Chains A and B, each alone.
Chain A
Amino acid sequence: MAESLFTPEEQKKFDTEIAEILSHYPADRKSAAMLPALRLMQDIKGWLPPEGLKLVAQVLGVTPERAYEVASFYVMYHLKKPGKYVIDVCTNLPCALRGAEKMLAHLENKLGLKAGEANERFTLRETECLASCGTAPCLQINEDHHESLSRAKLDELIDKLS
């Protein structure tokens, strides 16, 4: 199973890092490593394919259903393959007070996507608070924060993405 999921380099990365992660927990509590293990899988594959979830479950000694239950609870795990760039736009109150709704509308027009939609290049999501309220409006592209976004700054940022 693992051979078809990973390239040899990916397999090496998974084996090395999962061993490090498991060393952080008591030996009889391997399943506690679920969040970091899922994160590792997603770092390697870009999302959590069903075989990846099964492998994580197997390594942690739990059922695949348990891995799915956890993965589906948290918004940062992708159970479907996302676009190359996942853009999360905060529209909560502090950001909204600094123009986030208009920023999202601009982005929707620019990308030709509504919030919640995806294509191969972009996944656009409306998200809830990125803890950047003092530098609103803000968004996150994959895992990188971008703050105090003016229209010009946002356009430049998006236009640079390949």
Chain B
Amino acid sequence: MATTAFEPVISTAWGTPQSWTMDAYKKRGGYQGLAKALELTPAQIIDEVKKSNLRGRGGAGFPTGLKWSFVPKDNPKPKYLAVNGDESEPGTFKDRNILSHDPHMLLEGIAIAAYALNVHTCYVYLRGEFKFPAERLNAAIKEAYAAGIFGKSLMGKDYALDCYLVRGAGAYICGEETALLESLEGKKGWPRLKPPFPAVVGLFGCPTVVNNVETLSSVPHVFTRGAAWYAGLGTDKSGGTRLICLSGTVNRPGVYEVPLEATFNQLIFDDKYGQGLPAGRKVKAVVPGGSSAPILSPDELDIAMEFEALKVKQSMAGSGGVIVMDDTTCMVRSLWRIARFYAEESCGQCTPCREGTPWQARILRKIEEGRGEPGDVEQLSNVASSIAPYPPIGLGNTICALGDAAALPTHSFLMRFRDEFEAHIREHRCPFGDKPWGAFGDWS
């Protein structure tokens, strides 16, 4: 449990004047964490990050300090830092806010991480569609070069550090860390087999740490306020706060910074956050961590939105994307939308995913359009199982986790709403008619 009183850490400057400039960042204490970190040895910096209990915010939730400690010290090759800003999971839109409102927080985290890891070149990989965040980040990088953060001398130290922004070109798979490295190497984003892990063989065959934007943006605070303070904000196994993206059928969607022990019910109904559903509507299902996370029922929403609590429910906190569906939403059509996404974004490298993801989408479309036949639900379940069985999570039949991500929603929708799929087939139509999208589906 948290031992420090909750306060927002990452989002404090959002919406304040000129928050994205170096002047404003320094005025609110920016780059003091870097100054403190530079008084430590690289090993001490990694130890502090371990003590802070910071866990990766990209989806897997791996302890950050531990990840950093996997980089071999005796490898003579150059080491690289790659920042994962390829935010493309439906329901997730937090990194965009960090980059648009507070890019220097990320750059400070980059500088600390680079120094700790003996990295002299960092690439920030942003999803191609992020034109505006990229402009803000590029301007911040220029300011950081001018201020002697990047360049030949890191804050006066004899330590050169370069930071470059690379924009992707529209491929969700490039958010997978090894696909991101392939893309950074100028290739199509085909994930690599692991091991070897990037910490040992990464970019250009050299040791590479891949960290999410939110993860690195959290790092300065570990040094500004101390590892114990940061750890105290969170739970036993996970330090700090978390950015949660709330979308779907709620009155006030948006990005909210919450304590790790906050529950889904608080997020959805609290006045500070989602402010509930429109009058007369009830929650039917909630996607707890980006479109790939198995859904929760309304009676499961009193659990914390963090890694361990969701593991118990055989779901995952993932990238922090919470999507709410109300009781007038068609679950077949919802799953079809998710399935289309994975079919579109499969890189095509592994047969179960390449063939299975469009197959799922075709069956779902058929059922939703009233052309379903007896046996379709079993077929759908078999196709999903051939991509990745359920449970357990994370042991799919493909090189990367996109296969798991594509199969998990199918398994969980079928487990919880099988009746609805069967009603579509029995009635040869969608029971929701032309209003399958609930309270806000009638756009005007």
Residue of A nearest to B134 (CB): A143
B121-139 contact mask (Cβ, 8 Å, vs A): 1 or 0:
0010001111110000000
B26-45 contact mask (Cβ, 8 Å, vs A): 1 or 0:
00000000000000000000
B131 touches A128 (CB 8 A): no
Contacting B at CB under 8 A, from A130-162, are: 130-137, 140, 143-145, 150-151
**Given known A-B contacts A133-B245, A134-B247, A135-B253, A128 and B186 have beta carbons under 8 A apart:** no
**Given known A-B contacts A34-B186, A140-B129, A97 and B164 have beta carbons under 8 A apart:** no
B71-113 contact mask (Cβ, 8 Å, vs A): 1 or 0:
0000000000000000111111101100000000000000000
Alpha-carbon distance between A33 and B187 when the two chains are bound, in angstroms? 9
In the bound complex, residues from chain A placing their C-beta under 8 Å from that of B253 are 133-136
> How many A-B pairs fall under 8 Å by CB?
170
* Highest count of chain A CB atoms <10 Å: which of B88, B93, B189, B329: B93
B440 touches A98 (CB 8 A): yes
* Highest count of chain B CB atoms <10 Å: which of A33, A34, A35, A94: A94
In the bound complex, residues from chain A placing their C-beta under 8 Å from that of B443 are 98-103, 106, 137, 151
In the bound complex, residues from chain A placing their C-beta under 8 Å from that of B337 are 91-93, 96
Q: Check if A55 is an interface residue, CB within 8 A of chain B.
A: no
In the bound complex, residues from chain A placing their C-beta under 8 Å from that of B323 are 93-94, 97, 133
Q: Check if A24 is an interface residue, CB within 8 A of chain B.
A: yes
In the bound complex, residues from chain B placing their C-beta under 8 Å from that of A130 are 129
A80-104 contact mask (Cβ, 8 Å, vs B): 1 or 0:
0000000000011110111111110
Residue of A nearest to B183 (CB): A35
Alpha-carbon distance between A39 and B169 when the two chains are bound, in angstroms? 8
Of A8-16, A67-75, A110-118, the stretch lying at the interface with chain B is A67-75
A93 touches B169 (CB 8 A): no
**Given known A-B contacts A94-B247, A129-B89, A129-B90, A76 and B128 have beta carbons under 8 A apart:** yes
A129 touches B341 (CB 8 A): yes
**A133 interface neighbour in B95, B131, B247, Cβ under 8 Å:** B247
B93 touches A132 (CB 8 A): yes
**Given known A-B contacts A35-B169, A60-B186, A99-B437, A92 and B131 have beta carbons under 8 A apart:** no
Q: Check if B185 is an interface residue, CB within 8 A of chain A.
A: yes
In the bound complex, residues from chain A placing their C-beta under 8 Å from that of B96 are 131-132
A145 touches B188 (CB 8 A): no
A26-42 contact mask (Cβ, 8 Å, vs B): 1 or 0:
10010111111011000
Size class of B's contact patch?
35 or more
In the bound complex, residues from chain A placing their C-beta under 8 Å from that of B167 are 35-36, 39
B188 touches A69 (CB 8 A): yes
Alpha-carbon distance between A92 and B333 when the two chains are bound, in angstroms? 11
Q: Check if A77 is an interface residue, CB within 8 A of chain B.
A: yes
B131 touches A145 (CB 8 A): yes
B128 touches A134 (CB 8 A): no
A131 touches B130 (CB 8 A): yes
* Highest count of chain A CB atoms <10 Å: which of B184, B440, B443: B443
Q: Check if B293 is an interface residue, CB within 8 A of chain A.
A: no
Alpha-carbon distance between A127 and B204 when the two chains are bound, in angstroms? 32
A99 touches B442 (CB 8 A): yes
**Given known A-B contacts A35-B168, A73-B188, A93 and B338 have beta carbons under 8 A apart:** yes
**B438 interface neighbour in A24, A36, A39, A97, Cβ under 8 Å:** A97
In the bound complex, residues from chain B placing their C-beta under 8 Å from that of A26 are 204
List 27 A–B pairs whose Cβ atoms lie within 8 Å, in order of A's numbering: A35-B166, A35-B168, A35-B169, A38-B169, A39-B167, A39-B169, A73-B171, A74-B128, A76-B168, A93-B287, A94-B91, A94-B247, A96-B334, A96-B337, A96-B441, A97-B324, A97-B325, A97-B329, A100-B443, A128-B340, A129-B341, A130-B129, A131-B95, A131-B96, A131-B127, A133-B91, A133-B247
Q: Residues of A with Cβ closer than 8 Å to B?
A: 24, 26, 29, 31-36, 38-39, 60, 69-70, 73-77, 91-94, 96-103, 106, 128-137, 140, 143-145, 150-151
Q: Residues of B with Cβ closer than 8 Å to A?
A: 87-93, 95-96, 123, 127-132, 162, 164, 166-172, 183-189, 204, 245-249, 253-255, 287, 291, 321, 323-325, 329, 333-334, 337-338, 340-341, 344-345, 347, 437-438, 440-444
What are the nearest 8 A-B pairs in CB distance? A99-B443, A34-B186, A74-B169, A73-B188, A133-B247, A75-B170, A76-B170, A94-B247
